[in-house]
């Protein structure tokens, strides 16, 4: 019997980390053939060129697609999506996959969904059923309505996808594959590399051995004019800390210029002594860094997801992760420097939380591959009510 | 106070009929300015060039967008949608509307939705919440998840949109604007024009004064290879009738070539004596033709919607209208010539049904305009559960 | 040494005939690998689906690209070209050819040129340096200015490309590969198939054994409103002949609807007794049909090119082939039915012309392959004056 | 008589400076209506957002078009062009201009040319007939072959366009409109603003009153991997000077990341004491800065063009301006720090050159407007030989 061809489209650095264990499991599954498409900001230096990491990890791209229109504003986000639909349609047409996998809820993921669904290729959606604010919220649920098979990350998400009118047999909680990576590294007792030595970055050379914070804050699409203001609140807050801080550059999104601009200006003017900036890091090393940190600050989904399993305290700022299922390790604060500062300071003196399995037990990749290999693949459905 | 700019995108001939009364009401509303975009097959001669009708009706296009890629297959449908996203984004960016209206569930309507939603323009979806088969089903509900305000056509549809997680205050049953046109002509006692004289078309010159059938059958996207077979069953069935038949050419969709081909071949080979073919007709005249017909045959939504109000019997073939709310006037049959023949014959001898208001009372256009003028317009939402 | 990868883009049925012998020679050359891209109207049923012929001839497509926007007007021609640039860029990026071949002067060929030239892939232009009217004239010379290596079809064309500022060493007269096919069949003494039996088509079943005419007339882009009028002149003229006529449907171009419409209307109304219509024919069979015909009528380049070698009389109508190098076999007439009629009638009573080698000696395919295998490939140049 | 609608497409900051006086003259001409389209990098902050300057200068955009695909490599340059063709076609289709003006030779200008020429809109090309290296060379002459009217900047350019087969009556030497701006400011005796105070920028606060150099060096497309190396040679050279240096950031082009990267790294590591960096400047102020400088260093066309009229010495590095007509003020050097250093140092001690009018007398804008108002506009041509 010929192997099922599974086409996975990775359009950004964070999506890669989130799907990596599934990619490995698909690649190694005897009944599956992986067709990996690398597209969007995953190809761009400005956003950490995930393609490099992906290929270093031993994956080979079946196709690459440049599709990000410059401007980082709502208009270019929409056009980027249109370009993605055109290009990915062509890619699928020529690759002829048996199923296409679209990941989560970034704005351009709907391009993958349309290109597959309209060509009658069974569409598998990973990480549907969650809730956030902004355009992601619309995109995620639209992806659900275009998809035929839903591999979700939590029981709560499963319930929600079923409520959206999907056939319960087509909605399976595999847990989140990002937890698989966490599981891999979560027994390591010490940070086994020197982040500054290994990854360079810019800013002061910090002594992080006695505890450090990690910051990752993305712009929130529908408020992109405020991105600069928001990032400055966080910068001011963590700059007052007595502890060293590792700060990660945001990924592409409308408004990242506001955010990036804020960071650059702050660096030039304030020359913060306790902050070191990184553009990107190998996903596993990033998890190691998180695991051994005192606190993660910002609005990254890693705080909600990976840190729940690790039990690392999280100071979650603003509305970006609103209503995402979260563990006890998360403290929510608004974009106010004082509140941020207090919350971060507290976490330095608090104990670690026990890990939680609300996002899975760390075996999602294998479960996903097995389902893709064995479940019936169809491309036609009607709403259940 | 400046008028609210309402941008309505019409991408096909049938969508125009379905929205016409609302366009008129928007255009005439003192607080609204209509920005009409004519796109897709609405510009193409092969699909009846709706743009001509639209302009003859006194509407002026703010922009026109060619976007239909040739091929009439699933691949070109997807690419057409991508092109639509790119182009409509640009059109909205330059027109700066206060709200964008997307209509129903044709595959390319999601282009309108993405172009508006991603640019943070409040998106109004007309005719969400219904149920059918094929790709339309996915597109319609995805449109719902991208839209901010839902103007639905029936109570059943309203319930379904709310179940999909939308805020009940944002889901309003206006009835279907297509019924407004029906109401306009439904008191006319006789057909006040000669269809063949007025519209030409090809085929025999029929004596229709003593009763006639109307046929309109579209290809069903996900089975486009069977389109030819399906259309031949219907052709064989109506060719056996003793009554004259007016047959309407299908609109653009994947597979229309199978359908068109079937029709052309049948005409050349069988030279049917009782069938006359039309490419298109003024929407009001089409409704008049329906009202005075003995039966509508095929799978057009006009059978479900307009004919419910008119009480005209409908022989609905195949799965295209599966699960759409329908009146007692509809009889469902499979793609089998005998079943079709019997059902059509019966209807010639049966009485008319009483009209039903399941799709509205014929004042939808005014209700839509009023809501667009007065309701709060927003572009941010989260699922209700 | 790895084989040189030569990517040839075929975008239309006539381009395929024109390049076929070169494709074969490239495929069989020990130092070359053929990457065949089938795009544009070559994929569409309405234009004779050249892809079917191509695959039946044993070629395998490395990629297929739907890119023709519907509308058949100047606006959609331009957009089609833009889509082509986007898509072909992606195809070349993923195929990584050592050289790309663009053919002649159809409007969409500049998409191939830009996609290659901008990506620093050496661009080879086949059949530059000729002269015609209409948009082709602009496109052809623009292709020349984007290309790095020019394989032209005549000495006159070679002189012209050099005058355009190209390095004489990069301009080589290989002759036209379309002549290679002609050479293959030109010793056959009789037409070895029955065209109507083998290809069907529509119209009367003609007795062609005692001589027949062939008609092929394309719309002229910049006058597309007049296309209908022009075609009717030709139809009226050949309908008056006492001889049977084989008429070929035009290929895609702005205005083909005017032309197609004219043909369809004429058929329905006049029901011409001596004309049989074909949509397409295997290229070799088409040449056989030409070789044994009394005259070719219309504005096809086959009249200028293939018929010069065959010595078949040509009645060339209108400006489409203006200023193309031609043999003594060509008689030019305007779009006037009387002039067309007289010229065609004369040719039935005249002798065949001796063949001419102005477009090559029938070995162009091999010459092209050899040059592609051995010449230096570069992608940088400056004008010679 | 209705005014002629002249659509000018500005796709980049430098193109704006080059066309500004013509825009003004068109806008003020009684027989002309200006339709200004702002597109490409002219809309992007990263490239100095020319749209801001343009609107501050009192021009209103008839349409804006985001079209730059991220990646700054040959692949995204090509795709950007394809997007441009699609979008600009739509823009012209809706604006219905009587003529379209495309400027010079940036890679995306061919998008303007195709969108106009294919839609049978008379195409006017400004600044054809010049010679350089790289992809610009191909694009410029391809633009010439697509254009109907050629308004060139020098007699040499006029001769070359005629040699390319254009009708001499359609090739008019207006001089370069960029010289018009130079003329405006060239009688000012002192620099009337403080560049650092007015424009900020980054780097040391320099005392420039006793003489300074200006640097502007763009990446050369076809060698984009070497861009970083090239820029470092220049940085090292000017860093050794005893004089202050104003350095301008390069515009968008494949490889600008190599260049930008080189500049950023050099700044971080070497912290050059005598260099101040600007991202952009009002075009008139930039000319003022040039006029009062000791020397312009780099490969900007301003060195060839504007500085010839000003008589300011230019150290022109590398091949980018190869074969452009130049005055005696230009000294050419390779990408070698020693040669650059020597040449720049020399110029500080040399006298100013007398100005030259090889690129016009400073009245090009008015001449262009008058020609656009009065010349016959056509869209059909054939090569002259």
For chain D, the domains span 4-176+361-379, 185-348
CB contact under 8 A, A257 and D71: no
Tell which residue, D130, D148, D171, has the closest CA to residue C137: D148
High-pLDDT (> 70) share of chain D, %: 97
Q: Which residue of B has its CA nearest to C82?
A: B83
* Number of other CB atoms surrounding residue B75 within 10 Å: 24
Residue D257's pLDDT is: 63
Nearest C-alpha in A relative to B323 = A382
Output the pLDDT for position D205: 86
**A87 has a chain C CB within 8 A of its CB:** yes
What's the pLDDT score for residue B223? 56
In C, minimum Cα distance to B46 occurs at C71
Q: Which chain D residues are closer than 8 Å to B83 by Cβ?
A: 86
User: At a CB cut-off of 8 Å and minimum separation 6, what does D49 contact?
Assistant: D42, D43, D280
Residue A249 pLDDT > 50: yes
Residues 191-250 of D with CB under 8 A from A: 202
Choose from C67, C70, C74 for mutation: most chain B CBs within 10 A.
C70
Question: For position A253, what pLDDT does the model report?
Answer: 47
* Contact residues, chain C, for B46 at CB < 8 Å: 70
Residue C172, classed as helix, strand or coil, is strand
Residue A210 CB partners (closer than 8 Å, separation 6+):
none
Distance CA A62, CA A68 (A): 19
Residue given tokens 């095929």 in the structure block: B298
Q: Which of A68, A202, A257 sits opposite D70 (nearest CB)?
A: A68
Phi and psi of A37, rounded to 5°?
A: -110, 125
Residues in a beta bridge with B10:
B38
| A94 → closest Cβ in C64, C86, C93 | C64
The tens digit of pLDDT for each residue in D93-139 reads 999 999 999 999 999 999 999 999 999 999 999 999 999 877 899 99
D87 shares contact with chain B (CB less than 8 Å):
yes
The chain D residue lying nearest A202, using CA atoms, is: D268
* Spatial separation of the C-alpha atoms in residues B33 and B6, rounded to whole Å: 6
Q: Is B65 at the interface with chain D, CB within 8 A? A: yes
Mean pLDDT of A141-152: 98
Q: Which residues of A touch C94 (CB under 8 A)?
A: 63-64
User: Chain B: nearest CA to C74, how far in angstroms?
Assistant: 11
Helices A177-185 + A13-28 axis angle, to 10 = 90
pLDDT above 70 covers a percentage of chain A that reads 97
Task: Give buried/exposed letters for C14-43 (b at 16+ CB in 10 A, else e).
Answer: bbbbbbbbbbbbbbebeebbbbbbbbbbbb
Q: Does residue A279 contact residue A195 with C-beta atoms inside 8 Å?
A: no
The b-or-e profile of A30-65 (16+ CB within 10 A means b, else e) is eebbbbbbbbbbbbbbbbbbbbebbeeeebebbbbb
The interface predicted TM-score (ipTM) is: 0.89
Q: Which of B46, B66, B202 sits opposite C79 (nearest CB)?
A: B66
Is D185-348 the same fold as D4-176+361-379? yes
Query: Does C144 contact D144 at a Cβ distance shorter than 8 Å?
Result: no
Does the beta-carbon distance from B83 to A82 stay under 8 Å? yes
Residue from B65, B80, B86 to probe the interface with D (highest D Cβ count within 10 Å) = B86
**Cβ contacts (< 8 Å) between B77 and chain A: which residues?**
118
Instruction: Please tell me if residue A93 touches chain C, with a CB cutoff of 8 Å.
Output: yes
Contact A87 C83 (CB under 8 A): no
- Per-position pLDDT tens, chain C of length 385: 799 999 999 999 889 988 999 999 999 999 999 999 999 999 998 887 889 989 999 999 999 999 999 988 999 999 999 999 999 999 999 999 999 999 999 999 999 999 999 999 999 999 999 998 778 999 999 999 999 999 999 999 999 999 999 999 999 999 999 999 999 998 999 999 999 999 998 888 889 999 999 999 988 755 556 778 899 999 999 999 999 999 998 765 444 567 887 888 898 888 999 999 998 788 889 999 999 999 999 999 899 999 999 999 999 999 888 888 999 999 999 999 999 999 999 998 887 788 899 999 999 999 999 999 999 999 999 999 9
Q: Which residue has the higher pLDDT, C41 or B251?
A: C41
Please tell me the least confidently modeled range out of B83-97, B98-112, C268-282, D248-262: D248-262
CA distances from D326 to C144, C299, D358 (A): 27, 48, 8
Residue numbers in C near D166 (CB within 8 A): none
Mutate to test the interface with A, among B68, B83, B120, B156 (most CBs of A within 10 A): B120
Contact between C82 and D89 (Cβ < 8 Å) = yes
What is the structure's pLDDT at B225? Answer: 65
Structure confidence at residue D342 as a pLDDT band (50, 70, 90): very high
Test the C interface: residue of B42, B70, B205, B227 with most C CBs within 10 Å = B70
Q: Measure C87 CA to nearest chain A CA, in Å.
A: 7
Q: Which CATH superfamily is domain A185-348 in?
A: Glycogen Phosphorylase B; (3.40.50.2000)
Q: What is the mean pLDDT of chain D?
A: 92
Chain B interface includes A311 (CB < 8 A):
no
pLDDT given at position B259: 82
Does residue C138 or residue B224 have the better pLDDT?
Answer: C138
Of the candidates B110, B120, B134, the beta carbon closest to that of A222 is on B120
| Residues near A365 by beta carbon (within 8 Å), at least 6 away in sequence | A20, A21, A22, A23, A24, A25, A177, A180
Q: Check B87 against D83: CB less than 8 A apart.
A: no
Q: For A230, which DSSP code?
A: H
Q: Residue B313: what are its φ and ψ, rounded to 5°?
A: -65, 145
- The answer to whether residues D179 and D309 touch, using CB atoms and an 8 Å cutoff, is yes
Give contacts of D383 with chain C, Cβ < 8 Å: 131, 137, 141, 160
* A-contacting chains (≥3 CB pairs under 8 Å): B, C, D
pLDDT in tens, D179-236: 999 999 989 999 999 999 999 988 888 899 999 999 999 887 555 567 788 999 999 9
In sequence order, the 6+-apart residues with CB closer than 8 A to the CB of B128 are: B140, B141, B143, B144, B147, B150, B152, B157, B161
**From residue D216, how far is each of B344, D250, D275, D317 by CA, in Å?**
79, 7, 12, 10
Task: Give the whole-angstrom CA distance, residue B41 versus residue B39.
Answer: 7
pLDDT tens digit sequence for A222-247: 555 677 889 999 999 999 999 999 99
pLDDT-based confidence at residue A195 (cuts at 50, 70, 90) = very high
- Residues C241 and B151: their CA atoms lie apart, in Å, by 63
User: Measured between CA atoms, how close is B144 to chain A, in angstroms?
Assistant: 8
Residue B257 confidence (pLDDT): 63
C380 to chain A, any CB pair closer than 8 A? The answer is no
Which chain B residues touch A133 with a CB distance below 8 Å?
A: 380, 382
pLDDT for A331: 95
Q: Give pTM, 2 decimals.
A: 0.89
Interface contact C93, partner A, CB < 8 A: yes
Q: A220 or A325: which carries more pLDDT confidence?
A: A325
Q: What does the pLDDT look like over C32-62, one tens digit per residue?
A: 999 999 999 999 988 878 899 899 999 999 9
Print burial letters for D6-17: b (CB count within 10 Å at least 16), e (below 16): bbbbbbbbbbbb
| Å between B112 CA and nearest CA of chain D | 16
Name the closest residue on chain D to residue C106, using Cα atoms. D118
Helices (H) and strands (E) in chain C, counts: 15, 14
B76 touches chain C (CB under 8 A): yes
Please state which architecture CATH assigns to domain B4-176+361-379. Answer: 3-Layer(aba) Sandwich (3.40)
Show Cβ contacts of residue A118 under 8 Å, excluding neighbours closer than 6 positions. A89, B74, B77, B78, B81, B107, B135
Residues B42 and B251: beta-carbon distance below 8 Å: no
The answer to whether C61 faces chain B, any CB pair under 8 Å, is no
Query: What pLDDT is attached to residue A224?
Result: 57
Is the Cβ pair B222, A120 closer than 8 Å? yes
Mean pLDDT within A302-310: 93
Report chain A's mean pLDDT, rounded to a whole number.
Answer: 92
**Confidence band for A139, pLDDT divided at 50, 70 and 90:** very high
Q: Which residues of D touch C383 (CB under 8 A)?
A: 131, 137, 141, 160
Sheet holding D61-65, edge to edge: D61-65, D32-39, D4-10, D99-103, D123-126, D149-152, D171-173
Asked if C60 is an interface residue toward chain A (Cβ–Cβ < 8 A), one would say no
- Contacting partners of chain C (3+ CB pairs under 8 A): A, B, D
State residue A254's pLDDT score.
43
């Amino acid at each position: 019997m010929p192997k099922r061809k599974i086409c996975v489209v990775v359009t950004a650095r964070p999506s890669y980390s989130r799907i990596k264990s599934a990619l490995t499991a698909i690649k190694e599954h005897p009944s599956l053939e992986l067709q990996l498409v690398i597209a969007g900001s995953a190809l761009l230096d400005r956003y950490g060129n995930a393609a490099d990491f992906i290929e270093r990890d031993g994956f080979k791209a079946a196709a690459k697609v440049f599709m990000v229109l410059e401007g980082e504003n709502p208009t270019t986000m929409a056009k980027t999506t249109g370009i993605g639909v055109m290009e990915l349609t062509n890619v699928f047409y020529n690759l002829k996959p048996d199923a296409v996998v679209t990941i989560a809820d970034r704005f351009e993921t709907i391009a993958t969904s349309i290109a597959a669904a309209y060509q009658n290729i069974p569409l598998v959606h990973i990480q549907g059923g969650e809730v956030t604010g902004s355009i992601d919220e619309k995109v995620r649920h639209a992806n659900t309505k275009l998809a035929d098979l839903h591999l979700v990350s939590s029981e709560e998400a499963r319930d929600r996808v079923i409520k959206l009118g999907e056939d319960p047999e087509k909605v399976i909680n595999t847990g989140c594959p990002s937890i698989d990576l966490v599981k891999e590294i979560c027994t390591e007792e010490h940070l086994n590399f020197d982040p500054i030595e290994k990854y360079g970055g810019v800013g002061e050379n910090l002594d992080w051995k006695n505890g450090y914070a990690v910051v990752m804050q993305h712009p929130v699409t529908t408020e992109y004019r405020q991105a600069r203001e928001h990032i400055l609140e966080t910068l001011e807050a963590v700059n007052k800390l007595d502890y060293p801080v590792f700060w990660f550059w945001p990924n592409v999104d409308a408004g990242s210029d506001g955010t990036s601009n804020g960071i650059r200006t702050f660096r030039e003017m304030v020359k913060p002594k306790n902050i070191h900036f990184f553009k990107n890091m190998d996903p596993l090393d990033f998890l190691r860094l998180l695991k051994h940190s005192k606190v993660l600050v910002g609005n990254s989904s890693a705080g909600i997801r990976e840190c729940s399993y690790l039990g690392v305290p999280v100071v979650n700022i603003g509305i970006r992760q609103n209503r995402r299922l979260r563990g006890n390790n998360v403290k929510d604060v608004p974009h106010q420097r004082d509140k941020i500062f207090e919350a971060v300071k507290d976490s330095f003196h608090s104990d670690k939380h026990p890990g939680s399995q609300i996002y899975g037990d760390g075996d999602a990749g294998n479960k996903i591959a097995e389902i893709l290999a064995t479940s019936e693949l169809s491309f036609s459905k009607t709403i259940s009510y």
